[in-house]
Amino acid sequence: MHTDQVRVVIKIGSSSLTLENEGLNMEQIRYFASELAALRAEGLQVLLVTSGAVAAGFTSLGYKARPKLLHEKQASASIGQTLLMQAYHEALAKYGIGAAQILLTRSDFTNRKCVHNASMTIDELLHRGVIPIINENDTISVDEIKFGDNDTLSALVANLVKAQKLIILTDIDGLYTDNPRNNPLAKRIDHVDEITDELYQIAGGAGSAVGTGGMRTKIEAARIGMRGGVSVFVGRSYEPGDLMIAYKGNGKGTYFDAKHHNLSMKKQWVGFHSVAAGTIIVDQGAEKALLNGGKSLLPAGVTQVEGDFHPGDVVEVRNVQGECIGRGIVNYTPWQIQAVAGHSSEEVTKRIEVSRIEVIHRDEWVTLQSYKS
């Protein structure tokens, strides 16, 4: 990296940038540009992950409402992305700040060379005083490889650039114990140290017709960010100075603390960027050992294997209920696992020849779920 300046990633959703069925809200674009400029004036390096391309473009094609079909969304995005970048460019230019467009797909993150190249490009843009404006490449993405929402993309970007904080802006001021629109007794959760199943149950579906990300996707993004050592804020910014207040710790929203989490870049790639080549099913004892015991996965704990993979590939590990509990780099082929599944390490050495006894070594394992006894 060129500098030791603090980096912060801001994610703005469609509902904050567009007027329903009317395209871009230029007043909001100008407001956010002033907020980003204020962060820059404090010496921070700022990256923006923005939604809004489809919402900005569909009216230009004559659609009465946001389209549902993939080819209609892609056509809308191809127009809307240029309108979105033009709006940001003009709004930021008033503060003497340049804007650069970076379009990414999920497959870019699965390729370690692409991830490295993206990181180098972002690093250079920040060094030159430009704000990288990042969006999913909706024009070419297909459903199978889409992020589904830019919340996930923003968390992956924050981890990639080693940001100090990820600020996810939405139209609700944080995570509540219940839906505050329906329940006046709902209370805001100001701080989260650990993401539990209860938090996921609290989170509902998508919040507006314009955007795609509900509070659940924001919790998932917070989980990814936290695992990479990035603190996350989810909340609102609608008055001058709100973004700076959110950065400094007193914002209108929920803070997710990352002080107990910090995965290496390799483990981030294994856990969140890579594409799993297969699946290994483990028994309850192995599940407990992996999630609570700090152990490697041994053949004795394996019950089943699915897919076609090779040693060195990333595989998904599931429990007997079918829930994904983590991912790791496998040391066996499927036939080798089938030959020794359920057997002791001593028996394994009699049956097959492998370079190491662990199916997945602890150092190449990433936990994605807590163990429930």
Instruction: Locate 27 and state its tokens.
Output: 């007043």
Q: Which domain holds residue 138?
A: 7-266
91 and 104 in contact (C-beta within 8 Å)?
A: no
pLDDT at 211: 37
pLDDT at 273: 77
Same domain, yes or no, for 220 and 285? no
**Cα 138 to chain centroid, rounded:** 16
Same domain, yes or no, for 42 and 174? yes
pLDDT at 205: 46
Same domain, yes or no, for 260 and 319? no
Residue 221 lies in a domain: yes
In the chain, which stretches have pLDDT less than 50?
A: 1-2, 144-145, 205-213, 371, 373
Same domain, yes or no, for 228 and 321? no
Same domain, yes or no, for 262 and 281? no
Instruction: Locate 167 and state its tokens.
Output: 């600020």
pLDDT at 209: 40
pLDDT at 109: 82
What distances in angstroms separate CA 216 from CA 57, 66, 67, 203, 284, one per listed residue? 26, 22, 23, 5, 28
pLDDT at 197: 78
pLDDT at 146: 56
pLDDT in tens, 305-326: 999 999 999 999 999 999 999 9
Give how many domains the chain has, as a whole number: 2
Q: Which residue has the tokens 């950065």?
A: 247
pTM over 0.75, yes/no: yes
Same domain, yes or no, for 351 and 260? no
Distance CA 332, CA 99 (A): 47
pLDDT at 145: 43
Same domain, yes or no, for 243 and 341? no
